[in-house]
Structure formats: structure tokens, C-alpha cells
Amino acid sequence: MGQKGSKIEVTKTDKAILQIKLSKDELHRYTRRTEILIGREREKLKALLREDPKNGKKNPRARILLKKIHYQNHLLEQAADQLINLENLVSTVEFKLVEQQFMMGLKQGNEVLTKLNKEFSGAEDLMDSVADQIAYQDEVDQILSSSVVGGFEEELDRELQQLDQEVNGPAHEPAKAEPNLPSTEGLPALSEPEAEEPQQEPQSDGRQREAVLT
């Protein structure tokens, strides 16, 4: 009888490496879809600014769109960072010591991808109540405010200003009004000064003596 082949043992580390590969492939797919989504939302934002060059920057829809773009970029970065952390855990010599930490990180990464999946479907459209929409906006504001150093609202203002100039051109300052001069109506007309007659030069002494001799 032939010898049976030895059974290859699949370790937990092998399973973890396979899980990371699957997650990485999924993240690549989400990245491509998110880039397309962000491109569409940026075009919508430019259209809003183009439709109302004067007050487009103050339109709440424009501000929300820009926040969504930042939020989606943040989710992508968060998912990518999580994968890097998981890869570092798998490379640990004693994987069993960090297995629980790995599973927790994998769960968090899947939660980020779930949030991205909602963005593809239009997060606001999936919400049944105004309260859900408010909660979504609050979550976006909280995440973005904590991830940006300095004032996030001020950064939004600057970015909207740059986009507005890109779409509509630089804003021109209104021409300064000429100062109002007092009216001359009712004042007497000024007479022109009369031209003075040229004075005759006195004759020289030689001509005077000549006149006396004659």
C-alpha cells in the first residue's frame, strides 16, 4: 500500500495572511469606486458654484458636498492604515499572542468598509428619518474635526474659495465711486479777465535828441 501524503496543517497565521489578502483586494475595489464617487461629487460642487457665482460659496449644499468628499477620503485612509497595522501584527513571531488584537483590527477594518459602502448608495437617501440624517452629519463633523489640525470650518472656507475662483475666475473689486462735488448751479458766471494792452517802450535817448534837432 502506498504511503498517504502528509496532511498540510493550516495555521492561524496562514488564515490571517489569507484574510489580509482578501481585505486588501476589497479595499482596492472600494478605492476605485470611491475615487469615481468623489469625482462626481466634485463636479456637482463646481456646478453649484457655477450656477450662483455670487452666493454659491454660502450654499449649505456646497458645504455638505465638500464635507462628504473629505469624509470619504478619510475613510479610505483609515482602511488603508488598518490593513498596514494588520500586516504588522501577522509578521509578529508569536502570532498567537496578538491574535485577539488582530481579530479586533479586522473587525474595525470591516466596519470602515461598511461605512464606505453606504457612501456609494448615498448615505442620506438610506436614512428613514431626519434624526438619522442629523446623526450622520454629526458623525461626519466629529470625525473630520478631530482629524484636521486647526479649524476645519476655516479650511472648508478656503477650499470653497479656491474652487470658486477655479470655476468663476478671481473676484473683481467693485469700482470706487467718484467723490460727489458741490453743484455750481445758481452761481454767477465768472467773467474772463480783459487782456492788457501792451505798453509802448520809451524811445531811446538818441531818438529823442534827433527829434529836437529837427
pLDDT digits (tens, 9 = 90+) for 129-155: 556 667 777 777 777 776 654 567 888
List, in sequence order, the alpha helices (H) in 52-98: 60-90
Residue whose cell numbers read 453743484: 183
pLDDT number for residue 183: 57
pLDDT number for residue 65: 86
Residue 30 to residues 3, 8, 77, 113: CA-CA distances in angstroms?
A: 47, 34, 12, 8
Q: What share of the chain is helix, strand, coil (3-state, %, to 5)?
A: 65, 0, 35
Residues 6+ apart with CB under 8 A from 198: none
pLDDT digits (tens, 9 = 90+) for 179-197: 565 555 655 655 555 555 5
* Residue ranges, the chain, pLDDT below 50: 126-127, 149, 209, 211-214
Q: For residue 10, what is the DSSP state?
A: -
Determine the Cα angle at 152 with ends 155 and 144, to 5°.
125
pLDDT number for residue 214: 47
pLDDT number for residue 107: 83
pLDDT number for residue 16: 81
Of the candidates 92, 111, 98, 113, which has an alpha carbon nearest to the alpha carbon of residue 24? Answer: 113
Global model pTM greater than 0.75: no
pLDDT number for residue 88: 79
CB atoms under 10 Å from CB of 27, counted, come to: 20
